């Protein structure tokens, strides 16, 4: 059961990620991005990280993917469907990605046969305690970053008064 769930989620994540990268229509790419992020949310759930599962759905699937979709709809043109959407550097890019994959597999090899030691515990309460305790300063800094991003987005997209 565990096995089937993992392989199904991994297949959904990776296939839709490949679709994000390869599809010609950017709108379809944005939709598949949402599906891929949902797959990652399912993998979080299979890891027992319940709060991350909820946060992934809230922030990525219903926030970032929808935002990307809006920008695709606002900044897209019909003629783009007939243009090539990738540049000519696919061979070097493939080499770089392959090298990264090889290096990652080398790094990950010592951890290969590790099984999960125990059943997962609910994490939400512990995370809340840590955010108010040990990680209080980074938590406040994150809110500062979010305010800065908010103001920056308004400044960049705002229309100047003529």
Partner 1 sequence: MTLAHYLAVSGLLFCIGLFGALTRRNIIGILMGIELMFNAANLNLAAFNRFLAPAGVAGNVVTLFTMAVAAAEIVVGLALIMAIYRNMNTVYAEDINLLKG
Closer residue to partner 1 in complex, CB, 74/161:
74
Site for partner 1 in 95-134 (CB under 8 A): 96-98, 100-101, 104-105, 108, 111-118, 120-121, 123, 126-127, 130-131
* 79 in contact with partner 1 (CB under 8 A): no
Number of residues that bind partner 1 (CB under 8 A): 84
CB of 139 to partner 1, least distance (A): 8
* 31 in contact with partner 1 (CB under 8 A): no
Phi, psi for 136 (deg, rounded to 5): -65, -40
Euclidean distance between CA atoms 36 and 65, whole angstroms = 10
* 38 in contact with partner 1 (CB under 8 A): no
Q: Which residues does 5 contact at the CB level (< 8 Å), separation at least 6?
A: 42, 46
Euclidean distance between CA atoms 81 and 77, whole angstroms = 8
* 78 in contact with partner 1 (CB under 8 A): no
Sign of CA dihedral 37, 43, 44, 46: positive
């Amino acid at each position: 059961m565990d096995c089937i769930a993992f392989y199904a989620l991994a297949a959904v994540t990776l296939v839709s990620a490949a679709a994000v990268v390869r599809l010609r229509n950017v709108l379809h790419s944005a939709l598949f991005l949402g599906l891929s992020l949902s797959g990652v949310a399912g993998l979080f759930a299979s890891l027992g990280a319940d709060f991350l599962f909820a946060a992934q759905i809230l922030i990525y699937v219903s926030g970032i993917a929808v935002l990307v979709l809006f920008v695709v709809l606002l900044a897209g043109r019909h003629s783009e469907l007939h243009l090539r959407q990738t540049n000519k550097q696919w061979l070097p890019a493939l080499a770089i990605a392959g090298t990264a994959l090889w290096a990652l597999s080398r790094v990950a090899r010592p951890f290969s046969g590790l099984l999960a030691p125990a059943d997962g515990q609910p994490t939400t309460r512990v995370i809340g305690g840590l955010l108010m305790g040990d990680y209080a300063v980074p938590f406040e800094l994150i809110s500062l970053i979010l305010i800065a991003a908010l103001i920056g987005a308004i400044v960049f997209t705002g229309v100047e008064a003529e």
